[in-house]
Amino acid sequence: MTKVQITVNGEATAADVEPRLLLAHYLRDTVGLKATNIGCDTTSCGACTVLLDGESVKSCTLLAVQADAQEVTTMEGLSADGEHLHPVAAAFRAEHGLQCGFCTPGMVMATVSLLKENPTPTEREIREGLEGNLCRCTGYHNIVRSVIAASGQDPDTVQGLNGHAETAPSGGVEVAPGFSTGSDS
């Protein structure tokens, strides 16, 4: 067993843990904070996203011992209370950025990190910035609107009323051209 001391949502926590304990399980089972969901358990879906020293990470692919002596923020730690929601949480509610809600804590935490690095993202930057978070209800449209609203921008202005980005891919890299034409051209 290894002793860890992790500040979770501003409060000191400590426990003797097996080194193989995942941070997601530490948060849910040792500390008892259940907002952080475990979806795929393979670093794909992003439901377990939390902030580690302010940066988004997937807590299913982190050992609790790796977070020793560091600060973790979960969805529970974001808002003061139900009446005073964090701006990102408030925007997800206002724009109905959720359907079943399973992906929501991860989406919100990923958004907090995204907006810290890029306070006024374009729609494309939001979609790329949330590429590590999957919504199996496929409710992306309102999730993207929520992030636009959380950044202080007007979703109807940024997206256009038809709701589709017109902007070209950012930078010089084509991440996913989508399909091959079948010819060498």
Q: Contact region for another protein (CB under 8 A) — 74-82, 83-91, 138-146, 168-176?
A: 168-176
**Mask: binding to another protein, 122-151, rule CB under 8 A, as x and -?**
------xx-xxx------------------
Q: Which parts of 67-154 fold into alpha helices (H)?
A: 87-94, 104-117, 123-129, 140-150
Q: How far is the CB of 152 from another protein (least distance, A)?
A: 20
66 near another protein (CB under 8 A): yes
Q: Rounded to an integer, what distance in angstroms lies between the CA atom of residue 80 and that of residue 48?
A: 21
Q: Is the CB of residue 101 less than 8 Å from the CB of residue 139?
A: no
Which residue type sits at 136?
R
The span of 8-16, 50-58, 79-87, 135-143 binding another protein (CB under 8 A) equals 50-58
Bridge-based pairing of strands 2-8 and 71-73 is: parallel
> What letters, b where the CB count within 10 A reaches 16 and e where it falls short, cover 39-51?
beeeeebbbbbbb
The distance of closest approach from Cβ of residue 124 to another protein in the complex, given in angstroms and rounded to an integer, is 12
Which residues here bind another protein, judged by CB under 8 A?
A: 2, 18-20, 22, 41-44, 46, 49, 52, 55-58, 61-63, 65-66, 68, 110, 113-114, 117, 128-129, 131-133, 171-177, 180, 184-185
